[in-house]
Amino acid sequence: MTFSKDRIVTIFSTILSRNIKPFNIVDTHVIFKRTYIGQENRVFRFLFGYLFFYLYILGYLILKRPQKILYFESISAIPALIYKFFFRQTEVFAHYHEYTTKDEYLNGMLIERFSHDLEKRQYNKFKWISHTNYDRLQLFKNDCNLDCESILKIMPNYPLLEWIDIKEVGKNSTLDTFRFVYVGPLNEEDTYINEVCDYIGSHNDFSLEIISNRVPVTFIERIKTKQYHNITILGEIENAKLPDVLTSNKIGLILYKCKTLNQIHAQPNKFFEYLRAGLDIWYPKEMIGCKEFTSFVSPKIIPIDFNNIEQSVIGYKPELVYPPRSFSKFSTEYAVAELIKQLNN
């Protein structure tokens, strides 16, 4: 699904680092604008980060007079809702990539709390409100006492349709071995990355490739100190190149410690990227959101006690199945079809 040819889409986003790789969408009518908010001082970050971001967007909206606005997360709501107050015919769409509890809003950033208060007063005037899966949507619905069922939608985290057409087998995908890959943040407090590295590092015939755009120095030093030579940190990789890296491995890892309801009920985008690449998947046993996909036939999707990995995987053996089974419905195009249709109308 694509936007109509007469539609021009402008995307506003914040960035934490000026060194972030440029993002381009070829052959589209998409304009991408970014605002740097990486100031360490909280006052400067608010005044010259978020405040500038909101004023910049609001000015653009007033100048261009869009008919439809889609924003992501509560933190982005303020300019959209101010604009709708003055231009009441505007259709507002909201998508939440994460679930935030009432306590998390209360104890989080003041600007986000204020923004969410504005949202709750106007939700019944929205055209669309979506979360990534059913459980998160229901939690959100109950928190906000919403009764507008017709605008509540589910829009999952699926990879692009082109991921189905992985024509070349990766360099090592024919090996029936324990080749692991992990894509995501390297937060040693909130993920089982250290536990996994200790497990893999103690098996010389295992290997692990780590793909992350944020690698703490402490983690690098830990890997060096423990001399885990079978663990490779690849850093950041462009999304278009990710399938080739994934298919050179056999087991994809989900490592959240599930300290929050958001993580407990998560179905991460990397989960479906692993699935579409034909990988087996190990996910934390605490992650309720992934349990519906549990499977002991290839691709094997199994819950793991990452505090006791050896016991969890007794009898497990990775299996090579290529090409991977077709999971065509797990595509971005499938997930956003209804949203694009409404935006095009």
Give the pLDDT score at 198: 96
Residues 81 and 202 reside in one and the same domain? no
Residues contacting residue 88 through CB under 8 Å, at least 6 positions apart = none
Give the pLDDT score at 74: 96
Instruction: Look up the pTM and report it.
Output: 0.86
Tokens of 184: 């995501």
Burial of 77 (0-12, 13-18, 19+ CB in 10 A): buried
Tell me the angle at which helices 217-225 and 193-201 cross, rounded to the nearest 10 degrees.
20
Residues 95 and 220 reside in one and the same domain? no
Give the pLDDT score at 342: 92
Residues 180 and 306 reside in one and the same domain? yes
Task: From 99, 72, 98, 134, select the one nearest 289 (Cα to Cα).
Answer: 134
Give the pLDDT score at 333: 87
Residue 66 sits in a domain of what CATH number?
Answer: 3.40.50.2000
Give the pLDDT score at 48: 65
Residues contacting residue 90 through CB under 8 Å, at least 6 positions apart = 66, 67, 68, 69, 83, 84
Residues 56 and 192 reside in one and the same domain? no
Domain that holds residue 203: 161-312
For 240-251, give one letter per residue: b (16+ CB within 10 A) or e.
eebbbbbbbbbb
Please report whether residue 72 resides in a domain.
Answer: yes
Please report whether residue 250 resides in a domain.
Answer: yes
d(CA 63, CA 272): 39
Please report whether residue 323 resides in a domain.
Answer: no
Give the mean pLDDT per block of 10 residues along the chain (345 residues): 67 68 56 60 63 89 94 95 95 97 93 94 96 97 94 93 57 64 92 96 93 91 95 88 87 96 95 88 96 89 96 83 61 90 89
Give the pLDDT score at 152: 97
Residues 115 and 198 reside in one and the same domain? no
Number of domains within the chain: 2
**Is 12 within 8 Å of 31 (Cβ atoms)?**
no
Give the pLDDT score at 170: 45
DSSP state of 49: I
Please report whether residue 184 resides in a domain.
Answer: yes
Residues 171 and 282 reside in one and the same domain? yes
**Is 86 within 8 Å of 58 (Cβ atoms)?**
no
Residues 168 and 144 reside in one and the same domain? no
